[in-house]
Structure 1
Amino acid sequence: MTHTRIKFCGMTRAEDVRLAVELGVDYVGLVFAPRSPRRLLLGQARMLRELVPEEIAVVALVMDNTSAEIETLIENVRPDLLQFHGGETDAFCAGFDVPFLKAIAMASEDENASARATEFPSAYGYLLDGHGKGEQGGSGQRFDWKRVPRLEKPVFLAGGLTSENVATAIRIARPWGVDVSSGIESAPGIKNPDRMRFFLDEARRADAQPD
């Protein structure tokens, strides 16, 4: 039986983080991108971070934030991973002494994820999202899951995932992990408990099925 890692992203409320922990997700994502409706203030983020036990990794999502902003959030939130969504270079992403994921925008059929990944050799892994270049993640846009490449590093599948389609997505793409935000929400940043439970159940069901 495979184990697809599950990341619930865009968490803004204590009750949602507590449920994610109870359900046994692998990653909790906190957003610091300036234009995101799920952006957290440092005080909020510190409070949420304290609810996450050591066995679950905390990911801080940034998008063209300044070095000073990122250093401050690292000092205050202590993320296990950074996740970069903007025009950052490999050298910039690697300059904070924290493992990082690089998001690759997959909205364009011309986007070659394998080639793009080579531009970020320092990355811990990659997150393939359905939005276009320069756009926010968490928009719920899908792309063709058959385009997910086999890379030597972890690949997270994101963009348009819901409890209704995550099992199919896992069977087609066989990603290292899946990342969901809007697909488990009632409104931006407001997670729906039933959708959270159903998403995790469906991902585990896909893992239990043979290839």
Structure 2
Amino acid sequence: MNPAFAPLTIKICGLSTPETLRAALDAGADMVGLVFHPKSPRFVTTARAAELAAMARGRAEIVALIVDRDVGETRALTEALKPDWLQLHGQETPEQVAAIKTATGLRVMKALGVGGAHDLAAIAAYQGIADRILLDAKPPKDAAYPGGHGRPFDWGLLAALDPALGFMLSGGLDPANVAQAIAMARPWGIDVSSGVESAPGVKDIGAIRDFVAAARAASAAATAEAGRT
């Protein structure tokens, strides 16, 4: 199936409590993300993540977000957590992505920061290696962690991408703007974290519910429009 016409995949990232994880599952999220970068306000320990993963297993795909971890550390984490995906959100090279895939046997999503059109050139090096590309807004230069800063980038830059790429879109998404993002970018999936929070790392149950509903409605409208053209 052409990714442009596939059902939208919705990921809620940075979940850290049973209550907010349950809200994401009940809202119908397809993926739930657990963050293992210690500098992030959404960081969870392996023990807490295992508890959350047990709640989600069978209801949504579990994504472990890591930043510049070596193969040994990554393998130990995946053996303890048994996620469905790894999200590599650091400066991992294509060779490192391939090594992690081989070592863990898991599907890998590689995040790439976008600040301008020139940043899209990096996609080519990871195609055929990463199972999915996530396009996120570039973090501020002094940021302590690479994602979840609530800043969008110019989604119009993505119009030139091959529709068959099937990328995931992140960066500054929230219930109010997700419909516009879907209409402009036509992503395979969307990923939200800070856009459904009341404070850094504190997920808002109502915002999670509103985000998923708005995204589903926008996806249905975009699919219907594509079918008429």
Establish whether TM, by shorter chain, passes 0.5: yes
Partner of 1:168: 180
The one-letter code of the counterpart of 1:44 is: R
CA distance, structure 1, for counterparts of residue 116 and residue 96 of structure 2? 25
The one-letter code of the counterpart of 1:124 is: D
TM-superposition CA deviations, 1:91-136 (whole Å, max 9, x none): 3222232110110100244312xx3122113111110001248851
The one-letter code of the counterpart of 1:129 is: D
CA distance, structure 1, for counterparts of residue 166 and residue 66 of structure 2? 19
CA distance, structure 1, for counterparts of residue 27 and residue 49 of structure 2? 20
CA distance, structure 1, for counterparts of residue 6 and residue 107 of structure 2? 24
Superposition RMSD in Å: 1.8
Structure 1 runs not aligned, ≥5 long: none
Partner of 1:117: 123
Matched, 1:13 2:17: yes
The one-letter code of the counterpart of 1:119 is: A
Structure 2 runs not aligned, ≥5 long: none
Give the SS at the match of 1:51: helix
Give the CA deviation at 1:21: 1.0
CA distance, structure 1, for counterparts of residue 29 and residue 88 of structure 2? 21
The one-letter code of the counterpart of 1:156 is: M
Q: 1:100 aligns with which of 96, 101, 108?
A: 108
Give the CA deviation at 1:69: 2.0
- For these two proteins, the number of residue pairs brought into alignment is 209
CA distance, structure 2, for counterparts of residue 94 and residue 48 of structure 1? 28
Partner of 1:150: 162
Superposition pairs of residues 50-129 of structure 1, within 5 angstroms = 50-95=54-99, 96-112=104-120, 115-120=121-126, 121-129=128-136
Superposition pairs of residues 135-146 of structure 1, within 5 angstroms = 136-146=146-156
**TM-score if structure 1 supplies the norm length?**
0.92
Among the aligned pairs, what percent are the same residue?
39
Classify 1:164/1:32 alpha carbon distance in 2 versus 1 (closer, same or farther; 3 Å).
same
CA contact (8 A) 1:33 1:65 kept: no
Higher helix residue share: 2
CA distance, structure 2, for counterparts of residue 68 and residue 40 of structure 1? 19
Q: Structure 1 stretches (4+) deviating beyond 3 angstroms?
A: 132-135
Give the CA deviation at 1:67: 2.2
Task: Point out the more displaced range, 180-189 or 91-100.
Answer: 91-100
